[in-house]
Structure 1
Amino acid sequence: MSMILAIEEIDTLKDHLASRQKLNRFWKKKRATITSKLRQEAEKYGDILFVNVTDVYRNLPAKLLQFHKWLYNHVNASHVLKTDDDCFVNIESVMSALGQMDRKNGGHIWWGSFRDQWLVEQWGKWSELTYTADVYPRFACGVGNVVSRDVHIWLGQNSNQLQTYQGEDVSMGIWMSAFNLNYIKDDRWKCDKNCSPDSLAIPELSPQEVRTMWSHKETCSDPCGCGG
């Protein structure tokens, strides 16, 4: 296989390269502003944990492990839910379902909407640099998934020894592949933006869309909308 790369608009590229210092100053200022706002929220609401990880995509598995490690050392959690910051999570419905789930299934629980036989990508953002198989073990899509206490404890205790891979969701699948897990598949954890009244979580939302869904949930118990 051979490739030919053609770069168009050379003058634009040269202008971009010439402005690197200016862009670096802009992004440093932007990063400082975001950090300041996050710390203000953390001080006001106590709802953010800062871990010692550079916050870029490739470090998400390490970030997840650091969270489990901190939680294991500081909080006696019965379950741990992972979600993304662009998701609406129906906390009320999740909590209601958890009680029923424990009575039926006991421990070693991983509850989510799972992807099976997912091909390992070799190129682009999701290219896998470490895992050598052709497909990943079963893993939960990132909108939201819950592990029981025993699974969380194992992650917290072994966080310094676990190998990280290209994303936190596939990494969890690889880590869990050696675990005798009770997989609870539940398509109410939406892997796309297809909302339904019984959704436990919905991904890929703007901040305003999340607020709107909360408003609908509070008004008529349906995050998708309240009709006429």
Structure 2
Amino acid sequence: MAQMQWWCWKRLLCAILLLSLLLWCLLLLAGDRQEKWSAAGRFLPALRGQLVAQPRIGVVRGVDFASLFAGPHAAPRCAHGQVLLILVTSAPVNVEARHVIRRTWAAQEGRPTNRWQTVFLVGQAAEAEVAQDVQRERQEFGDILVGNYKDTYRNLTLKVMHGLKWASEQCQPCYILKTDDDCFVNTDRLPAFLAELNTVRTGLYVGSLFPREKRQVIREPSSKWYVSRQDYRPDEYPPYASGIGYILSLDAAEKILEAACCVRPIPVEDAYMGILAEEAGIRAKASARFAKHNARWRICNYRYLMVIHHLSPREQEAAWRSTLQARSACHDSLEVTRWK
């Protein structure tokens, strides 16, 4: 009888152990699937070369600025209180684009009355050789801010947040322009316009705004603009300016950065800026001075346009020549003094 009872207890114990093992395996598998699903649409900063884990579902956290600044790379020098600081997003391999910008609209003649500066924003290159080239270029020109994040399209938000944080804290210019390395910036007109003609001194967030039908959130995972409901629940973004170029007054940038500390980032940089602006109570302002498309602009258009998108290196040089020609060729034409 005792032997019978021992046999029954032994079978029961084996069954319990087997069920426990099965339950543990199911939980492990579910956790692994959840982790893969969670990371599918996310963008992750690099910290000392490793990916930083994002918070669990249900926990809302903003931009991790500390991780973006981690690393040995020295920042460019900047003078406090300049009229304008131009932040240019650039991929590590886009050496030619940076060189042509330095030769054209980023070049300064003498000591301008309205001080301004151009800085390129670059992340961590995947290839060691490219990363070394970027470091040599940074040391030679002193105009590259290297952030601690993997340089990918979906990390563009982190790139801009890093640059904006550095600019607002270390340089404190009156205005910050964010643009891309395939854009032309009319530095012959813009600094003077901001210093002398612009009447919106505070709360300024201005650029080429997208119409409502272009502000729908893309839920297709195969799209490079994909945003999951986990990252952003509404189906429509608030009004926001195209990432080709937008200008922020210093106070607006500071309020936006404060909002970024508690608003979950999304991998659509310009839309995220609109989300932060709305959170900070800043209204996006539309201006036709920011052109989303490159066209056959006439010489005198360069007295009005401030940013033009989608220019090749050769077209950058042509646009700069047209800007210089406009100084004398269009001197007698009426100048528009408003953002519109």
Q: Same fold (TM over 0.5)?
A: yes
Structure-2 residue corresponding to 1:189? 290
Which residues in structure 2 correspond to 1:12-161 (within 5 Å)?
A: 31-100=127-196, 102=198, 104-117=199-212, 118-123=215-220, 124-129=223-228, 130-157=231-258, 159-161=260-262
Report which structure shows greater RCO (CA 8 Å, sep ≥6): 1
Unmatched segments (≥5 aa) in structure 2: 1-92, 94-124, 329-340
Contact 2:201 2:249 in 1 (8 A): no
1:51 partner amino acid: G
- Counterpart amino acid of residue 105 in structure 1: V
SS at match of 2:164: helix
Distance 2:170 2:273 in 1: 22
The Cα shift of 1:112 comes to 0.9
Question: Cα–Cα, structure 1 residues 220 and 92, in superposed 2: closer, same or farther, change >3 Å?
Answer: closer
> What does residue 308 of structure 2 align with?
202
- Greater shift in the superposed pair: 52-61 or 205-214: 205-214
Please give the secondary structure, in 1, of the residue aligned with 2:279. coil
Q: Distance in 1 between matches of 2:257 and 2:317?
A: 32
Q: Distance in 2 between matches of 1:182 and 1:97?
A: 21
On the 8 A contact 1:114/1:140 being kept in 2, the answer is: yes
Asked whether the 8 Å contact 1:142–1:191 carries over to 2, the reply is no
Q: CA separation in 1, counterparts of 2:308 and 2:259?
A: 30
Q: 1:159 to 1:53 in 2, by over 3 A?
A: farther
Q: 1:73 to 1:181 in 2, by over 3 A?
A: closer
Q: Structure 1 residues 63-72 or 33-42, which shifts more?
A: 33-42
SS of residue in 2 equivalent to 1:165: coil
Specify whether residues 121 and 158 from structure 1 end up closer, same or farther in structure 2 by C-alpha distance, changes over 3 A only. closer
**Which residue number corresponds to residue 170 of structure 1?**
271
TM score, norm. by length of structure 2: 0.52
Q: Is the 8 A contact 1:89 1:202 kept in 2?
A: yes
Number of residue-to-residue matches in the alignment: 194
CA 207–34 in structure 1, closer or farther in 2 if over 3 Å, else same: farther
Look up the SS of the partner of 2:270 in the other structure. Answer: helix
Structure showing greater radius of gyration is 2
Give the superposition deviation at 1:109: 0.6
- For residues 68-105 of structure 1, give each alpha carbon's deviation from its aligned partner in whole angstroms, at most 9, with x where no partner exists: 22223311211111001111111122212212454x22
Q: Distance in 2 between matches of 1:187 and 1:214?
A: 19
Farther off after superposition, 208-217 or 132-141: 208-217
The equivalent of 1:5 in structure 2 is none
Call closer, same or farther: CA 1:36–1:206 in 2, change over 3 Å. farther
Aligned position for 1:179:
280
Alpha-carbon separation, structure 2, partners of 1:183 and 1:30: 35
User: Aligned-pair distance for 1:214?
Assistant: 1.9
Q: What is the Cα deviation at residue 175 of structure 1?
A: 0.8
> Cα deviations across residues 190-228 of structure 1 (Å, max 9, x unaligned)?
112235323211112222222232233234559xxxxxx
Please say if residues 114 and 185 of structure 1, whose CA atoms lie closer than 8 Å, have aligned partners that are also in contact.
yes
Aligned Cα root-mean-square deviation (Å): 2.5
SS at match of 2:191: helix
Q: Distance in 1 between matches of 2:161 and 2:240?
A: 16
More strand by share: 2
